[in-house]
Structure formats: structure tokens, C-alpha cells
Structure 1
Amino acid sequence: MSATAGASRIQRVGVVGGGQMGAGIAEVCARAGIDTVVAESDAAAARAAGERVAVSLERAVQRGKLDRISAEDALARLVFTGDLEDLADRQLVIEAVTENPDAKAEVFTALDKIVEDREAVLATNTSAIPIMRLGMATGRADRVVGLHFFNPVPVLPLVEVVSSLHTSADTVATVESFARDALGKTMVRSQDRAGFVVNALLVPYLLSAIRMAESGYASAADVDAGMELGCAHPMGPLKLADLIGLDTVAAIAESLYEEFKEPLFAPPPLLQRMVQAGLLGRKSGRGFHMYGRA
């Protein structure tokens, strides 16, 4: 299959989950001219997802990144639903629910029964969960692949493409062509290992920063200032952890530790307590720093 053929055959995309990542994925698909359906857990969550995308598009217009007509056209290509059955005719479905292996596997089992085209691709936006586990929750593991976007999806150009031992070459070619030619993204390939490329490198660094703050070695503000001003990082590690979401950081750390049994990959107690307390970073208004409520 040629790259062009792969891109042209994906005209109908579904996204499962309309949170921060799912909404961003849906937005870039709609902005690329693709018929996009976002499925949430119920009608109220679907409405919230629609509002999330509308706010993001309006922000892009106000910042001069998108013209008003293009934003309106993108919204017109989006449908938000509380019924997973509405994804039956999709050619590509991208799962973006909470970073929990059981929850994701349940979605894939349901999609396997719902999506009618047996050649359709079922992709996951997981940050760290093995693709094989999700593929084996279906009867079409050869059509299951990791398609990991980065936050904020409309801004960051990278997508990680992750194959399991069962993922077919045609599936990989299809999603790579789609991400590159339809969405204008840049791709890196990864083996099916917890954390893939980016988070396998990034998250241990974030955990080290959390341990430094936890021990009182340095304040959160000083840790971030040190890396921003001393290493020219655009954002300090604790600000970045807040942006990602401390629950997501903890989930990735748990996946890394489960796979590699490296003690430094385990989530520090402070991170676990903050997640238990609902102090998740930007999305909750408080993490290692304070924010206006999302």
C-alpha cells in the first residue's frame, strides 16, 4: 500500500474519550477535514467534550492560529455522542480514555464487537500500557496499534507509533500515512515496551524531580527554575508534571515499574498522596504549583 492510498482511505475517524487528549485528537482530525465522531460515557460527558473542543478552537482563532471559517468548518465535522455504537462505521478508532489497563481493555473488547469493518484500525493513545494487552482483548490484534499523541495535541507535532508482536505491517503503514499526510504530524516508531520512547526517558526524570522536592532538597519553584534557567528547558519538570496530570504521571510510572522492576521507576509516596488528594496539576487547579481552576 502506498502512503497516499493509506491516507485517502481514512475518511471516518472515531475517538473514544473526550477529555484533554481525546478532545485534542478530535480537534486535529476535524481541522484536517475528517469526519470525526467522539464517543463519551454518557450524554453529559459528550456535551462537555464538545465544549472543550469549541473552547480550544476559539482560543486558536483569538491567537491568530486559525481563521474563523476554518474553526466553524472543523466544528461542523464533529459529532459528540454518549453511545459507543455510533462508531460502528468508523475506519479508524482512537481510544483516549483514562490511563488504566482494565478500562482500556474493556473499550477494545467493545469496539471489536461494534466496529463493522474488520479492516478498520483500532488505535490507542496510551502513554505506557503494552499494546499487546489491548490487542489481545480483541479478535483482531493485527489491526491494533499504538498511536500516542502529545499534549497539547493541536500544537505538538509528534506521534509515537507502537506495534505489538501481532500488529500487521499494513496497519502500521495505514496509521503512519494518516498521521503524516492527513494530520501533518511527525512520527517516531517504538517497540512495544512500557513508556515507549518519550515517556521511558521523560518520566524517570520527572520522578527524580518529585523526589527532590519530597525530600526537601529543593523547593518545587527552585527545581523548576534550575532546569529552566540552568538547562534552557522551556518548562521545569514539576510544571511539566502538572501539565501532563499527576494521575497520568503516576500511571505511567506504575507501568514502567511493573515492566522493568526498576525501583527508581516506582511512583514516589508524595506523588501517590497528591493523586489520592485530587491534586492533579493544572486540570484540578493545584499540583506542585497553583493554577486557575480548569
Structure 2
Amino acid sequence: MKFGVIGAGQMGGGIAQVAAQSGFDVLVQDMKQEFLDRGRAVIQKSLAKLHEKGRLPDVPEAVLARIQFTTNLTDFADCDLVVEAIVENERVKADLFRQLGQIVKPEGVLASNTSSIPITALASASGRPDRFIGMHFMNPVPLMQLVEVIRGYSTSDATAQYVTETAHKMGKTPLACNDFPGFVSNRILMPMLNEAIQCVMEGVAEPEAIDGIMKLGMNHPMGPLTLADFIGLDTCLAIMEVLHQGLGDDKYRPSPLLRKMVQAGLLGRKSGQGFYSY
């Protein structure tokens, strides 16, 4: 099977790594060679770590040899499945899928790793809505078990079955849901993170106490503010806005503090400062 990934960042790199570990021939595309080089280095490091812990049956070099890198979208013509993992912006994703719909062979399946953007809208842009689906991997991809499989309005049963089987071959647990704002994972998770941010804004407790209460009281492995920093506060804001617009209910209104922190460039781990310093 030829498995395409668009985007060599944290998510794209992780998806490519797991696909290669599963024995697929993988092609990764990004805009610039430096992004591809950075992605390759991260994959290499991750494979070495898994190998060290005895959790990689193959040698890292053999897995890496199954991954090719390119800056050229036309190289995806003969891919059986292409998963997009680029910036969380509907217009940019739709533009990409318009191109991919023209490039990838007609029987090829297109998938988006979006965490909240409507699958049906992206499917329409692709020109092959029956062979389009959401494949929402969790971060970090090599370690997390879940793939949310999201059917758009026109996704065929054959496409859903094919992607579900592929996820199983990748050692993941695919769980199906329908195309509503935020799907299941973020519709439930993001309002909780948003509420934790609201608690900081209202002075209910310090960030450490909020995270400690959720870890010790609710048995969460990571507190909500630590998790928000890990995801990226800009991504959290983008998803809350999708929920707010898509469902039209004020309970999904992003916290003013979240908005202000993003405006200030405090994005969490990736910028070195969010609710905590990194």
C-alpha cells in the first residue's frame, strides 16, 4: 500500500512514522525542504527511542527507508490513501484538497487529520466526497491508541471500511463518529480546557492547583492547563471558535483569557510560555 502524508510537522511526522512501522510505503510532503529535514530528524529520534525500549520489532533504519520525502504534490498521483495534517485552517485545507482531487488517482482515498473542521466541507472541495473521510489521530501519534474515524455526509461504506482496516493495520483502535463540530473528542475535551482557563481568569485557583485537582481528583494523567499548553493555546482557540460557530451555543464561547494569551503570543509549549514556562 502506498500511504501519503501532507505535512511533516508533529502530527504528519507521527502518522508517517506509524504507517512506515506498519510496513506501508510512505510519502511525506511539505512546502520547504527544511520542514522535511526537521520532520525526518524527529521521526529518527522517535524510532531510536522506541528501539531502545524494545518496542520496535524492526531496526529504525529499515522503517526510515520506507519513508520518502518530497516538496512536490504531483508525486502523490499513485497513492492509495493520502492523509492531510497541515495547519488548522479550513480555507488552506480546502485549497489543498481541490489540488489533491485532481492529482491522486481516482480510486485513491483522501483523509483529513483535522481536529474540528467539517469533513463534509473538505470532502466537497476534493471533488470525490464518497472517497473522503476524517482520520483524527491523537498526539503523540506513535504512542496514542485512538483514531477518530469521521464520516462526511457522502462518505461511502467502502471508504469507511477501508480506512478502519488501515487504522487496525497501523495498530490503532479506530472509533467511528459522524461529522458534527468538534466530532466527539474535542466537543467534550475543549469545553473542559476552556472552563479551566475561565477558572484561572476568575481567580478560582492557581494553575498548579487546578491541574492538581483534576489529576488527583479525576485521575487525569495530565491537568487541563498543562494539556492546553501541550496542544497549543492557538489550536485550542481555533477549535473553540469552530464549536461556537458550528453549534451556536454560548457554552462554547472561548474564554477571554484564552483569546488574550493567543494575542500576546503565549501559545504554550511551542512558544516557551503559556500557563507554565518551558
Q: Cα deviation per residue 1:187-216 (whole Å; 9 max; x = unaligned)?
A: 111110011111111111010001101221
Match of 2:108 in 1: 120
Match of 1:139 in 2: 127
Match of 1:5 in 2: none
Distance in 2 between residues matched to 1:174 and 1:15, nearest whole Å: 17
8 Å contact from structure 1 (residues 42, 83) kept in 2: no
What percentage of aligned pairs have identical amino acids? 46
Partner residue of 2:147 out of 153, 159, 170: 159
Match of 1:187 in 2: 174
What count of residue pairs does the alignment treat as equivalent?
278
1:171 equivalent to 2:159? Answer yes
Q: CA deviation at 1:261?
A: 1.4
1:198 equivalent to 2:185? Answer yes
* Unpaired stretches in structure 1, ≥5 consecutive residues: 1-10
Q: Cα deviation per residue 1:209-248 (whole Å; 9 max; x = unaligned)?
A: 0110122111111100111112211111001111112121
Distance in 1 between residues matched to 2:96 and 2:262, nearest whole Å: 24
Partner residue of 1:224 out of 199, 211, 218: 211
8 Å contact from structure 2 (residues 51, 59) kept in 1: no
1:66 equivalent to 2:53? Answer no
Partner residue of 1:256 out of 243, 252, 258: 243
Q: Which moved more, 1:273-282 or 1:155-164?
A: 273-282
* Secondary structure of residue in 2 paired with 1:173: helix
Distance in 1 between residues matched to 2:188 and 2:97, nearest whole Å: 28
Match of 2:32 in 1: 42
Distance in 1 between residues matched to 2:74 and 2:260, nearest whole Å: 37
Provide the TM-score with structure 2 as the length reference: 0.96
* Secondary structure of residue in 1 paired with 2:209: helix
* Secondary structure of residue in 2 paired with 1:45: helix
8 Å contact from structure 1 (residues 21, 153) kept in 2: yes
Q: CA deviation at 1:36?
A: 0.4
Distance in 1 between residues matched to 2:276 and 2:239, nearest whole Å: 21
* Unpaired stretches in structure 2, ≥5 consecutive residues: none
Q: Which moved more, 1:266-275 or 1:188-197?
A: 266-275
Distance in 2 between residues matched to 1:210 and 1:166, nearest whole Å: 37
